[in-house]
Amino acid sequence: MDMGLCGKTALITGSTKGIGKAIAIELAKEGVNVLINGRNWNEVEQTVKEIKTQFPSTSPLPAAADIADTQQREALFENHPEIDILVNNVGTYEMMQYEYLTDEVWEKYFRTNVLAANGLCKNYLPRMLKNGFGRIVFIASEEAMMPSGLMPHYAMTKSMLLSLSKSLSKMTKGIEVTVNTIMPGPTLSENVHQIITGMFPNEGLSFSEKEMKFMESSLPQSELQRFIKPIEIGRLTTFICSPYASAFKGSPIRMDGGMVPTIF
């Protein structure tokens, strides 16, 4: 299906691996010129080459920067002043007990998961409003609605993104610009794949069997009973970025595999 995005330009933060890379690939499939972002220049360049090889009709570009750093963010704006789509995917997470969370940890998570995304929006949203078209998508988590208690600092920042998305959406009234948040559930990132692969080493299980065993023991509330694939999130994000999704405004969009037990 043609999503009507050919020729658009998209910045996807944290797009050298995992969910971000999957989003970049799915957008590139639709003819979008993707800006690949990450802190490691070599990883950014490699991802650009991969996407260019797969989709030679598009023009992926490197956008290496630590977006949590104000100066690097400003340099990014100078190099790429105009975009049509912004996917705020970058986020840091780690399981930590509440009593061990120092002010420095809280500040780090707020700066990386919230202020960096807000800084990008503050620069690009006014330009989108002026141009009459734009898409901003925040990648949050089911933790935003259903904090597990294992990552209170992370859950707090993801809840903030829901509020920020709704506030910014108010600015798009009557304009073909949308701001939305996607909330994935547990996702099969590269790190998760390695962790699951290393589990149950003496039982001769296939990866899918290990995955199911882990789900049954650790995530029994999941109705999907497998990890969400990054490509699935990439496809949903691509749709939300398309003209076909114009009616989604300020929406919290759940893709949690049934993790959240409530209707709302």
Read off the pLDDT of residues 164-196 as tens digits, 9 standing for 90 and up: 999 999 999 999 999 999 999 999 988 889 989
Would you state the pLDDT for residue 151? 86
pLDDT reading at 144 higher than 90:
no
Do 34 and 54 share a structural domain? yes
How far is residue 106's CA from residue 102's CA, in Å, rounded to a whole number?
6
Do 56 and 182 share a structural domain? yes
pLDDT reading at 95 higher than 90:
no
> Is 33 a domain residue?
yes
Output the CA torsion 16→20→21→24 (10° steps). -120
Do 113 and 211 share a structural domain? no
Would you state the pLDDT for residue 109? 93
Do 101 and 45 share a structural domain? yes
> Is 26 a domain residue?
yes
> Is 1 a domain residue?
no
- Write down the mean pLDDT value for the chain: 95
**Contacts of 232 by beta carbon, 8 Å cutoff, 6+ apart:** 255
Do 177 and 51 share a structural domain? yes
pLDDT reading at 148 higher than 90:
no
Do 206 and 130 share a structural domain? no
- The mean pLDDT value for 222-233 works out to 96
Would you state the pLDDT for residue 191? 84
> Which of 107-121, 138-152, 164-178, 220-234 shows the lowest mean pLDDT across its residues?
138-152
How far is residue 262's CA from residue 264's CA, in Å, rounded to a whole number?
6
Would you state the pLDDT for residue 150? 86
Hey, CA dihedral for 102, 108, 110, 111, is it positive or negative?
positive
- pTM as predicted: 0.94
Do 214 and 94 share a structural domain? no
Do 150 and 52 share a structural domain? yes
Q: What are the catalytic residues?
A: 154
pLDDT reading at 97 higher than 90:
no
pLDDT reading at 77 higher than 90:
yes
pLDDT reading at 197 higher than 90:
yes
- The mean pLDDT value for 20-41 works out to 98
Do 241 and 214 share a structural domain? no
Do 83 and 22 share a structural domain? yes
